[in-house]
Amino acid sequence: MFKTLRNAWAIPDLRHKMLYTLLMIFIFRLGSFIPVPGLREGALESLLGDGNNLFAMLDTFSGGAFANATIFAMGITPYINSSIILQLLTVAIPALERLSKEGEEGRRVIAKWTRFGTVILAFIQATGLYFAIKSFISIPGVWGYITIVTTFTAGTAFLMWLGEQITEKGIGNGISIIIFAGIVSDMPSMISQIAKNFSAGSLNIWGVLAIALISLVMVTFVVFMDNAERRIPVQYAKRMVGRKMYGGQNTHIPIKVVMAGVIPIIFAMSIMSFPSTIMGFMGYTPGNSTFWGKFWSLFTQTSWVYMILYFLLIVFFTYFYTAIQFNPVEIANNMKRNGGFVPGIRPGRPTSDYIAKILTRITLAGALFLGIVAVLPMILSTAINYNFYAIGGSSLLIVVGVALETTKQIESQMLMRHYKGFLE
């Protein structure tokens, strides 16, 4: 990866894109320290609680901007939610499905609706935050509401614009780069916390070595599974068109093991954190003698009930999202129209059934992988009484996935310029 970055830096055009991306990341981090007018320090930090609710995820994705109550406190999460909603509606509504297949113009229209959805969701989320932290606001009345909600919403809209600028003029997917920068920026504080615990005697040298080893093993595991794929061989029959022979070549259909990416973890995390978030607004605390206090205890990351339900939800959403992304019937029909077939399998329905069977097995491996990566830090935290949340789950998958994808994009652009120079 470092060799690829060094080679790309030597190309003026790619160097300009890399510098532009770094500039946008700098603006994002700068905005993460600009406070919201009329909001006292520590207002949003009080919502984090013990780090087991939805706000802890927002704080992780925003690089600590949520806890610091800055203009980028809500991060890019409303954009992610809007994109997921549009993808689900594209499957459910035939008109949107036809629009998505109309090429660049259709994608442009869907992108515009995604932006509108982002602003609407950001406004709703900002309104909820306003009522949750109303006691920390120094501006009274309706002006306080307008100031807080508008600032939060504008911050998310600006981050969405930053992401689009990175995608258009920089390197990699802009939204993923922003989330990546937010998670990575929180790593120094995690290392500092480990050092403080070691100095205070609450963590010995073996604990530090265990954390380093577990982090290395999980990163290696994620890299291996992120690149893993099942290739279904495909042959195309020879055919004469005029005096020319077409077809006859061999190829394959690549099916990634982790086709759904980190989305199942985000869905499962949102659902599992919903009860504790609602009860936090209602003033309950986990572990007290009341019914709701005991009920909340079941939805903390140290609870085995939480871990089991979280794992099962990840498996369910992995199958659900993979079914939305990959359609075996459509693949089989396209192969049949172009004279392609899987060796030993008849074209048409038998081919779609064969692909669906393989997809089910591959998805099971990917679902188990996502569930293990998400739940393992919780099990380790319970076993040795130390918080591994920062090195597991969605954070680790996003960091590794974005790094690999950005590296592949740089390599493809370098290869494209190599062929372009050869042809010229």
DSSP 143-209: HHHHHHHHHHHHHHHHHHHHHHHHHHHSSS-HHHHHHHHHHHHTHHHHHHHHHHHHHHTSS-HHHHH
1.10.3370.10, 3.40.47.10, 3.10.20.740, 1.20.1070.10: CATH of 196-391: 1.10.3370.10
Residue 391 confidence class, pLDDT cut points 50, 70, 90: low
Q: Is the pLDDT of residue 158 over 90?
A: yes
Give bridge partners of residue 233 from the DSSP assignment.
252
Identity of the residue numbered 128: G
Task: Name which residue leads in pLDDT, 185 or 273.
Answer: 185
Residue 322 confidence class, pLDDT cut points 50, 70, 90: confident
Cα separation, 38 vs 388, in Å, equals: 35
Task: Name which residue leads in pLDDT, 331 or 266.
Answer: 331
Percent of the chain beyond pLDDT 90? 5
Using CA atoms, how far residue 117 sits from 72, 260, 333, in Å, is 18, 22, 34
Where are the chain's structural domains?
Answer: 1-185, 196-391
Q: Is the pLDDT of residue 298 over 80?
A: no
> What is the pLDDT at residue 162?
92
> What is the pLDDT at residue 424?
45
> What is the pLDDT at residue 352?
87
Overall average pLDDT of the 201-226 stretch: 77
> What is the pLDDT at residue 168?
87
Q: Of the spans 92-96, 178-182, 219-223, 411-415, which averages the highest pLDDT?
A: 178-182
Cα separation, 131 vs 411, in Å, equals: 48
Q: Is the pLDDT of residue 242 over 90?
A: no
Residue 422 confidence class, pLDDT cut points 50, 70, 90: very low
> What is the pLDDT at residue 384?
61
Q: Of the spans 55-59, 99-103, 145-149, which averages the highest pLDDT?
A: 145-149
Give the tens place of pLDDT for each residue, 102-153: 777 887 888 889 899 999 988 988 888 888 777 778 787 888 888 889 999 9
Q: Which residues of 219-250 are buried (b: 16+ CB within 10 A; e: fewer)?
A: eebbeebbeeeeebebbbeeeeeeeeeeeeee
Cα separation, 374 vs 400, in Å, equals: 14
SS3 content of the chain, % helix, strand, coil (to 5): 70, 5, 25
Overall average pLDDT of the 322-345 stretch: 82
Determine how β-strand 244-246 pairs with β-strand 239-241: antiparallel
> What is the pLDDT at residue 289?
60
The DSSP H or E segment spanning 244 is strand 244-246
> What is the pLDDT at residue 418?
60
> What is the pLDDT at residue 423?
42
Give the tens place of pLDDT for each residue, 78-96: 888 888 788 778 777 788 7
Residue 70 confidence class, pLDDT cut points 50, 70, 90: confident
Overall average pLDDT of the 148-159 stretch: 91
> What is the pLDDT at residue 157?
92
> What is the pLDDT at residue 178?
87
Phi, psi angles (nearest 5°) of residue 241: -120, 100
Q: Is the pLDDT of residue 291 over 80?
A: no
Using CA atoms, how far residue 313 sits from 96, 263, 268, 332, in Å, is 27, 12, 5, 30
**Which of 24-33, 149-158, 215-224 has the weakest average pLDDT?**
215-224
Task: Name which residue leads in pLDDT, 376 or 388.
Answer: 376
Q: Of the spans 194-203, 312-321, 324-333, which averages the highest pLDDT?
A: 312-321
Cα separation, 237 vs 106, in Å, equals: 33
Give the tens place of pLDDT for each residue, 168-182: 888 888 888 888 888
Are domains 1-185 and 196-391 of this chain identical in fold?
yes
Q: Is the pLDDT of residue 75 over 50?
A: yes
1.10.3370.10, 1.10.3720.10, 1.20.1050.10, 3.40.640.10: CATH of 1-185: 1.10.3370.10
Q: Of 66, 132, 145, whose CA–CA distance to 281 is shortest?
A: 132
